[in-house]
Amino acid sequence: MRGQGRDDVALEGVTKRFGEVVAVDDVSLVVDSGEFFTFLGPSGSGKTTCLRMIAGFEQPTSGQVLLHGQDVSKIAPYDRDVNTVFQDYALFPHMTVGENVEFGPKVRRVAKGERRPRAEEALELVRLAGYGTRRVTQLSGGQRQRVALARALVNRPRVLLLDEPLGALDLKLRQEMQIELKRIQTEVGITFIYVTHDQDEALAMSDRIAVFNGGRVAQVGTPAEIYQHPRSEFVAGFVGTSNVLSGDVAKRLRGAPNPFTVRPERVRLLSGASEVRDGDRRAQGVVVDSLYLGDRTRFTIGLDVGGQLTVIEQNQDTASAAAWAVPGRAVTLCWERDAEQLLPSAPVAEEASTSTESTEQLTRGNR
C-alpha cells in the first residue's frame, strides 16, 4: 500500500452486501494525506457505497475502514473527522447563508463568538464573502454549491467527501467549479475524496483516480497513467474513447492476436501510404462517417482488415475537415507503435474484431 504512516483513509478488504447483492467486493485502497482522490465509475459500480462507508452512513459487511490509522468501521458518522458535500446541497432554506455555515460549529458547541469569524472565513474561501445575510433561496445553483462546500469546510475536517457535488450544474458552471474545487483543496491542504461518473471531471481534478467496475477497483493511478496505460478493456473504454483491437484484426495489424488499444487522437489520417513514417503502424480503410465538433472532427473508418476504427483530427480549418469527411473516401491510417497499449487476453469470439466503446455505451452496459 502507498503512503504508510501518512495515509488519511484506507479500505482493507471491504465488502458490502445488500441482501443478495454485492455492492462492494473486497476493495482495498489507500488515500494519502492531502490528496485529491477520485472514485470514478458508472452507476452501480460501488463508488458511492465506498464513500458512504467512509462517511459512516453504511457499515461494511466485512473488512475495515481506517481513518488516520484507526478502525472506524463501527463508529457513528458524527464521531468521524470527515464531512460530506452532497449533490442536492442539503441546505436549510429557512436560514441565511451565514446561519447555514455556522450550523456545524453550533452543533459541536463552538463558542458563539468564534462561530461567526469561522463562517466568514469559510465563505471567503469559496468566494462568497459578504453573502452571509442572504437567504439560500436567493442564490444560484453554483452559489448554493459553494455554501454547501463552506458549511463542510467550516468544521475543519481532515477529510472532505464529495458525492457528485457538481451533477446538478450546467456544463459551463461545472467546469468553473472544477477549477474552484481544485484551488480550494490546494489552499486548505486537506484530503478530498470525490465521487463522479464523469471521466473528464476526474481527469481534470484528481491527483489519483480509482476506477470502479462491478463493485471492484479496476485500476488506481494518476490521470495520465489511467488514460495512457489502461490495464483492461473496461478502463480503456470508460476513461475516454478508445479503439480496442483483438483477434484476427490484431493479428493482421501486429502479427499476434493479443488485444491492444490505441486512442483516437493518436491515429493520423493520410491520403497516401507514402506519407507513413518509418516504424509507424499502418492500416488501410475508407471513411464510413464523420462528426464535426468545431475544434475537431471525429471519423469512423472501416478497416480493410475488418472492423472499424475511430479517429479524432484537430481542425486546422473548415475546408480541410470537409475534405476528409467524404463517405467512401479511401484513406491510410498510421500511428506510432508506442501509442499501443497491450491488454490482458480474453476469450475471443468467432468474429473477433475491433470495438470502439464510448463512455456512454459502457455506462449503460454497467447499470
Q: Are residues 293 and 160 in the same domain?
A: no
- Which residue, of 183, 213, 235, is where some domain finishes? 235
- Check residue 269 and give left, alpha or beta (phi > 0: left; psi -120 to 50: alpha): beta
Task: Quote the domain boundaries for residue 276.
Answer: 241-365
Strand partners, 36: 192
Beta pairing class for 281-292 and 330-335: antiparallel
Residues 160 and 267 in one domain: no
Give me the pLDDT at residue 3, please. Answer: 40
Mean pLDDT by 10 residues, the chain (367 residues): 63 96 96 96 96 96 95 92 84 89 85 87 90 90 88 89 85 86 90 95 96 97 95 92 91 90 93 77 93 90 94 80 81 93 61 35 33
Q: Are residues 211 and 346 in the same domain?
A: no
- Are 260 and 308 in the same domain? yes
Predicted pLDDT of residue 91: 87
pTM of the full structure: 0.84
Residue 2 in any domain: the answer is no
Indicate whether 245 and 229 sit together in one domain.
no
Q: Are residues 231 and 270 in the same domain?
A: no
Are 71 and 209 within one domain?
yes
Specify whether 145 is located in the same domain as 205.
yes
Q: Phi and psi dihedrals of 91, rounded to 5?
A: -90, 160
Indicate whether 30 and 56 sit together in one domain. Answer: yes
Domain assignment present for 155: yes
340: in domain: yes
Q: Cα–Cα distance between 309 and 303 in angstroms, integer?
A: 7
Q: What is the dihedral of CA 342, 345, 347, 352, to 10 degrees?
A: 20
Same-domain pairing of 246 and 220: no
Same-domain status, 82 and 149: yes
Residue 30: CATH number of its domain = 3.40.50.300
pLDDT of the residue at 347: 39
Whether 307 and 197 have beta carbons less than 8 Å apart is answered as no
Q: Dig out the grid coordinates for 251 from the structure.
A: 493479428
Could you say which of 235, 265, 300 is where a domain stops? 235
The number of domains in the chain is 2
CATH code, domain carrying 346: 2.40.50.100
319 within domain boundaries: yes
Q: What is the 3-state secondary structure (H, E, C) of 142-173?
A: HHHHHHHHHHHHCCCCCEEEEECCCCCCCHHH
Query: Is residue 1 one of the residues assigned to a domain?
Result: no
Instruction: State residue 54's pLDDT score.
Output: 97
Could you tell me which residues are beta bridge partners of residue 9?
31, 67
Q: What is the DSSP string of 279-330?
A: T-EEEEEEEEEEEE-SSEEEEEEEETTSSEEEEEEE-S-HHHHHHH--TT-E
Q: Last residue of a domain, which of 214, 235, 256?
A: 235
Whether 31 maps to a domain, the answer reads yes
Same domain, 227 and 261: no
